[in-house]
A and B are shown apart, each in its own frame.
Chain A
Amino acid sequence: MSITEKKPAWVAPVIVRHSSSGMNKFGGVREAQFRNEIAGVSIAELVEKYGSPLFVLSEEHLRQSVRRINRAFSTRYAKVRQAWSYKTNYINAVSAILHQEGCDAEVVSEFEYDKARRLGVPASRIFFNGPHKPRSALAKAVKEGARIHIDHLDELALLEEVANEQGVLEFPVTIRLNFDTGFTENWGRFGFNLENGQAMEAARRIAASPNLKLTGLHNHIGTFITDPRAYTAQVGIMIGFMNSVEAATGCTITTLDIGGGFASRNALQGVYLPPEQITPTAEQYAEAICGALAVGLKNREQNGKPLPELILETGRAVVDEAEWLISSVVANKRLPDGRRAMVIDAGVNILFTAFWYNHEVRPARPVEGIPEDTVLYGPLCMNIDIVRQSVSLPPMKTGDLLSFWPVGAYNNTQWMQFIQLRPAVVLVRQNGQVDVVRRAETLDDVENPEHLPIDLQPNFS
């Protein structure tokens, strides 16, 4: 080779064994492409400016997502309200955007209730769920006129007591029901059972109370429901119970809350078909639910009863696909069994959903080389920190970036400060501007609530 001739670039050598099995004739190739931008903003530039790892939200994706669900339902049923499920993502910017789009709030604790109130949500637009609402929370919610969903008899008694103390009469309440739809496992731990008569008993008790008035029914059939027929069955059962309870107690039901559980285009571990094929669209869910409402409520207005409002407690389906996690390759490894592994700077401490999803993983630049089955380990010094058991990736160098998607649901709530500090969350605005909506944590954030007694201060002098 002459001195003037430029040497070819070095690409890491790869060898892969040919295998005649393991092909998925239904599945597409999810990991083959790269992603170098999010909502028009370069991933490399985002990391250069805000660090790695980094959560990136897209305002455009979020607004389009909530609008699509809203449109799917409101074009099929006259009275629809979406209540944004706070526990899905605690970033205030996310809640604020969804409230701008007309969503109410669905909260499941006093902390979440206070969070929604601080953001300016009127109590009358907060649906207060959950199995533990302490007296202080109930007192606040009754005083401010929130929409309380009763989970059990002890709560019913406490709520009656609180309303009585405040001299409130006929405070409108909803009871949470549980029942078997035949499609999903009944979440019997929440609410009153319909089949064994608990739910009717609770309704009679409310009817007998001067302080409370039953106006709503609520049920939640499960999570990541991929068969819309489950909702058809749910709505049919709820309407049947509504008719029974109105006949038995003389109440009028004005809201039917069918909870949440809509799936996103995420890949659940252990599911054979890719999400593009199994995740129903918003329109398919809406058709199943509103179709059942149309059948069940056909004669309701003729019978002098109002059409109930349909409440959707949407969380995952709204936000999951509107957020990405960017992570950097820290090291390449060869495991004793021959498998390739990479250490990346984002672990299960911030990507909690890695325990049950196989996220889409893409390099942030086109990478040459034959893809190889790879294990992705996070940065924690813990054996459980496996972000992905197996993903096909081309050879990558330290410092290369990977994007994980969808990560909008349940990561910015279930993440924890463990071994590593939590990274920043940025929001790409519709005009392309980037706002830091949660800065990266510092040591002070972790230690501020602590107090070290003065005599315990170590002395190394």
Chain B
Amino acid sequence: MKNTLLASKRLAISESGFVFDPVSGQSFSVNETGLVILHLAQHEDDLDKLVEQLAEQFDASILEINRDVQDFIYRLKGFLK
């Protein structure tokens, strides 16, 4: 999980949610929440702290955010292999 957060620092991220991976040449789209996570991950590689920051910004429980962020990072991990 931590390695994926570290790897995500290489991504080029546009404000519209268009994401480019210069290593694989693949491009992606993320929704608004996904965009916030990728931005936070540029400076934060601790999952718990990242979730805490999200919980401060959004109206949802830590449990729900933690579950969704883990799912998102698993998905990201598959793409950044």
Say which residue of B29, B58, B65, B79 sits within 8 Å of A338 (CB atoms): B79
A15 touches B75 (CB 8 A): yes
A6 touches B59 (CB 8 A): yes
A337 within 8 A of B: yes
A332 touches B71 (CB 8 A): yes
Which chain B residue has the least Cβ–Cβ distance from A7?
Answer: B59
CB-CB contacts below 8 Å: B40-81 with A: 54, 56-60, 64-65, 68-69, 71-72, 74-79
B33 touches A13 (CB 8 A): yes
B33 touches A338 (CB 8 A): no
A189 within 8 A of B: no
Complex interface: chain A residues within 8 A of B76 (CB) = 15
How far does the Cβ of B21 sit from chain A's closest Cβ, in whole Å? 9
B29 touches A15 (CB 8 A): yes
Say which residue of A7, A18, A338 sits within 8 Å of B57 (CB atoms): A7
A1 within 8 A of B: yes
Which chain B residue has the least Cβ–Cβ distance from A337?
Answer: B78
Complex interface: chain B residues within 8 A of A14 (CB) = 30-31, 33-34, 72
A7 touches B79 (CB 8 A): no
Complex interface: chain A residues within 8 A of B75 (CB) = 15, 334, 338, 340
Bound Cα distance from A448 to B57, whole angstroms: 56
Which chain B residue has the least Cβ–Cβ distance from A333?
Answer: B71
B14 within 8 A of A: no
B29 touches A11 (CB 8 A): no
A10 touches B31 (CB 8 A): no
- Chain B contact-residue range equals 20 to 34
B72 touches A15 (CB 8 A): yes
Complex interface: chain A residues within 8 A of B7 (CB) = none
Bound Cα distance from A348 to B36, whole angstroms: 39
Bound Cα distance from A8 to B34, whole angstroms: 14
- A401-433 contact mask (Cβ, 8 Å, vs B): 1 or 0: 000000000000000000000000000000000
B71 touches A334 (CB 8 A): yes
B28 touches A18 (CB 8 A): yes
B32 within 8 A of A: yes
Say which residue of B30, B57, B59, B60 sits within 8 Å of A15 (CB atoms): B30
Complex interface: chain B residues within 8 A of A12 (CB) = 33, 68, 71-72
CB-CB contacts below 8 Å: A1-46 with B: 1, 6-18
- A308-338 contact mask (Cβ, 8 Å, vs B): 1 or 0: 0000000000000000000000001010011
Q: Residues of A with Cβ closer than 8 Å to B? A: 1, 6-18, 332, 334, 337-338, 340, 368-370
In addition to A18-B28, A370-B30, 17 A-B residue pairs with Cβ atoms within 8 Å of each other are A1-B57, A10-B33, A10-B59, A11-B33, A12-B72, A13-B69, A13-B72, A14-B34, A14-B72, A15-B34, A15-B76, A15-B79, A17-B79, A18-B26, A334-B74, A338-B75, A338-B77
State the 7 A-B residue pairs at the shortest beta-carbon distance, nearest first. Answer: A338-B78, A10-B60, A13-B34, A7-B59, A13-B33, A10-B58, A13-B72
